[in-house]
Chain A
C-alpha cells in the first residue's frame, strides 16, 4: 500500500497570504489528522476529519481550516499568514482515528512565512 502523501513538500509565502496544503491518506483510511510541528511547541494537534466531517479541533485560531473529500483526501487552509505559522505541517491517517489506532504520518509540508 502506498503511504500518506502530502503536497507540496516545501512552500514559501509572505505574511498576509493564504495557503492550501493537501494530504492523501493510505487507501482505506477514513481518518485524517493535521498537526503543526515547531521547535518551540512540538507536535500540536490542529484537527481531525473522519468521513468528510470535522470530528475534533485543537486550540488554533479560525485562520486554520480544513476539509475532507469523499475519497478521504484532505486539505488544510491557512489564511492571513503570520510569521509564527512557519512550521512543518504533518498529516496522519488511520483507519478509525479514535485515539486508539495507529496513525501513519506523511512526509510533511515545510511552510516558511517571510
Chain B
C-alpha cells in the first residue's frame, strides 16, 4: 500500500522566519510528487517534482526531491501571515491514484 507521511503535523512561527516542511513516501513505481497549499478552501497547486536534486522555486517557496532517500522538502523563507495554511504532499505512483499525506498545518503570527 502506498504511503505518504508529512512532518511536522503543525508548526507555529513568526513572520520573517524560515520553515522547512517534510514529506516522505513509499510508493510503487514512483511517478511524481506534488505540493499543494490549502487554506479554507480547495487545495491549490504549488509544485510538481519528478527528478531528484532539481530545485523548483516560486518566489519565497522552493522544493526539492530526493528519490534515493524517498523524501521531499518544501521551504518557505521570510514567512508572511498569508502563508498560514495546510500544506499537502501527494505522490503519484503506479496505481494511478495520488496518495495524499495528512498535511502540515502552518500558522504564521505577525
Contacts and interface: CB of A to CB of B under 8 A. Distances in A.
Given A42-B102, A98-B31, A100-B31, A105 B96 contact: no
Interface residues of B, number: 25
Contacts, number: 60
A99 B95 contact: yes
12 contacts: A42-B100, A43-B43, A43-B88, A43-B100, A45-B97, A48-B96, A98-B96, A99-B94, A103-B45, A105-B42, A108-B41, A108-B42
A99 B92 contact: yes
A58 B32 contact: no
B92 A100 contact: yes
Given A43-B88, A100-B32, A56 B97 contact: yes
Interface of A: 4, 33, 35, 42-45, 48, 55-56, 58, 90, 97-108
| Nearest 4 Cβ contacts at the A-B interface | A99-B92, A105-B42, A43-B100, A42-B102
Q: Is the interface of B mostly helix, strand, loop or mixed?
A: loop
Contact of B42 (A90, A97, A102): A90
A20 B38 CA distance: 25
Contact of B43 (A48, A100, A105): A105
Interface of B: 31-32, 34, 36, 41-45, 48, 50, 88, 90, 92-103
A102 B96 contact: no
Given A42-B102, A108-B41, A108-B42, A102 B97 contact: no
B102 A106 contact: no
